């Protein structure tokens, strides 16, 4: 069978077309703007990250237990309904 796609050639064509549409000045400008914006970001302190991570883990555990209990309850209820027929 004939090969439908020659991947190395296709990859090169994609790279060439991207170079044509993305001038180097535009890419350089974009990356410098990204750097400026990242310097404006107020990053959270380590303690805050740890505290918020623990809160997320705790709430996820509580929701997991709640959903698990609902699952067990509805399973038992369905088993009871099916067994009574």
Measured between alpha carbons, how far is 45 from 49 in angstroms, rounded to an integer?
A: 6
Number of structural domains (the chain) is 2
34 and 48 in a common domain: no
* Average pLDDT value for the chain: 84
R_g of the chain, CA atoms, integer Å:
28
61 and 36 in a common domain: no
What's the confidence (pLDDT) of residue 1? 46
For residue 15, the enclosing domain spans 1-41
59 and 28 in a common domain: no
pTM recorded for the entire structure? 0.55
74 and 46 in a common domain: yes
Rounded mean pLDDT, 74-78: 97
Question: What percentage of residues in the chain have a pLDDT greater than 70?
Answer: 74
32 and 54 in a common domain: no
52 and 25 in a common domain: no
């Amino acid at each position: 069978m004939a090969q439908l796609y020659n991947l190395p050639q296709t990859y090169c064509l994609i790279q060439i077309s991207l170079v044509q549409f993305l001038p180097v000045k535009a890419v350089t400008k974009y990356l410098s703007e990204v750097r400026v914006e990242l310097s404006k970001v107020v990053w959270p302190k380590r303690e805050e990250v740890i505290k918020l991570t623990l809160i997320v883990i705790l709430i996820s555990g509580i929701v997991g237990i709640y959903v698990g209990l609902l699952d067990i309850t509805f399973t038992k209820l369905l088993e009871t309904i099916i067994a009574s027929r």
